[in-house]
């Protein structure tokens, strides 16, 4: 019940099944090609604030200026954020799995992806392994397609 109008809300349930075709800008295309073809993770520098942005983007989200200057990033980083997914979402792996944001060493921002190799047999066991600030490695799929999912993360041993 809406307290202002005294009426029930109008609810419309819809199902959308849409196909998207994404076009990568030149900066993103270079990042994805380099990831696929050379197995390197790149960042790009903002000339104003000098942050290294990963994944690279053509415009700095802080200064709104064009970015320039590629930076090779380490294949190690820091776990910045994670969530354990227990609900199925179309197009994603069967749960449970871990989504994480990792800040690669040498970057000032984080890349999102899957964190693999975590014991997900129980929430307690998973949380015992996961800690913000934990060191991680950035791994590459054997068969890469030029997508952000060509990389994934593992907790460093």
pLDDT digits (tens, 9 = 90+) for 113-153: 999 999 999 999 999 999 999 999 999 999 999 999 999 99
Report the C-alpha gap between 147 and 63 in whole angstroms: 27
Tell whether the model's pLDDT for residue 11 goes beyond 90. Answer: no
Whole-number pLDDT of residue 2:
63
Non-local (6+) Cβ contacts of 141 within 8 A are 149, 150, 151, 152
What pTM, to 2 d.p., does this model score?
Answer: 0.85
Does residue 39 surpass a pLDDT of 80?
yes
Confidence label for 7 from pLDDT (cuts 50, 70 and 90): confident
For the stretch 55-105, pLDDT in tens is 999 999 999 999 999 999 999 999 999 999 999 998 899 999 999 999 999
**What residues does each domain of the chain span?**
26-155
H/E stretch holding 125 reads helix 123-129
């Amino acid at each position: 019940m809406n307290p202002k109008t005294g009426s029930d809300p109008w609810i419309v349930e819809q199902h959308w099944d849409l196909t998207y075709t994404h076009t990568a800008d030149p900066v993103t295309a270079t990042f994805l090609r380099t990831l696929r073809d050379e197995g390197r993770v790149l960042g790009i520098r903002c000339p104003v604030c000098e942050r290294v942005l990963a994944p690279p983007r053509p415009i700095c989200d802080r200064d709104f200026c064009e970015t320039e200057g590629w930076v090779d990033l380490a294949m190690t980083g820091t776990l910045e954020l994670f969530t354990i997914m227990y609900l199925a979402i179309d197009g994603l792996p069967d749960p449970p799995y871990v989504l994480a944001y990792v800040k690669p060493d040498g970057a000032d921002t984080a890349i999102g992806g899957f964190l693999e190799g975590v014991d997900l047999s129980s929430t307690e066991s998973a949380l015992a392994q996961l800690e913000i600030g934990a060191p991680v490695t950035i791994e590459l799929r054997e068969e890469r397609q030029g997508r952000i999912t060509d990389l994934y993360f593992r907790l460093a041993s």
